[in-house]
Amino acid sequence: MSEAEIIYTSSEVYSRLGVSGSTLRKYSDVLEREGYDVRKNSRGRREYTEFDVVLIEQLVELSKQDGMTLEKAAKMIAKQFGIDNKKEESQGSDPVPYQMQYQF
Q: How far is CA 90 from CA 3, 31, 45, in A?
A: 35, 18, 26
pLDDT, residue 20, reads 96
Give the domain CATH number at 17. 1.10.1660.10
**103 vs 44, residue with greater confidence:** 44
Residue 27 has pLDDT above 70, yes or no: yes
Domain-located, residue 102: no
Q: How many residues make up the chain in this entry? A: 104
Evaluate if residue 1 carries a pLDDT over 60: no
Residue 41 sits in which domain range? 10-84
pLDDT digits (tens, 9 = 90+) for 47-100: 999 999 999 999 999 999 999 999 999 999 999 988 886 654 444 444 444 444
Please report whether residue 62 resides in a domain.
yes
Rounded Cα–Cα distance for residues 77 and 27 (Å): 12
Q: Per the domain annotation, does 14 fall within a domain?
A: yes
Q: Is residue 27 part of a domain?
A: yes
Classify residue 8 as exposed, middle or buried by CB count within 10 Å of its CB (0-12, 13-18, 19+): middle
Domain count, the chain: 1
- For the entire predicted model, the pTM comes to 0.75
Give the pLDDT score at 86: 60
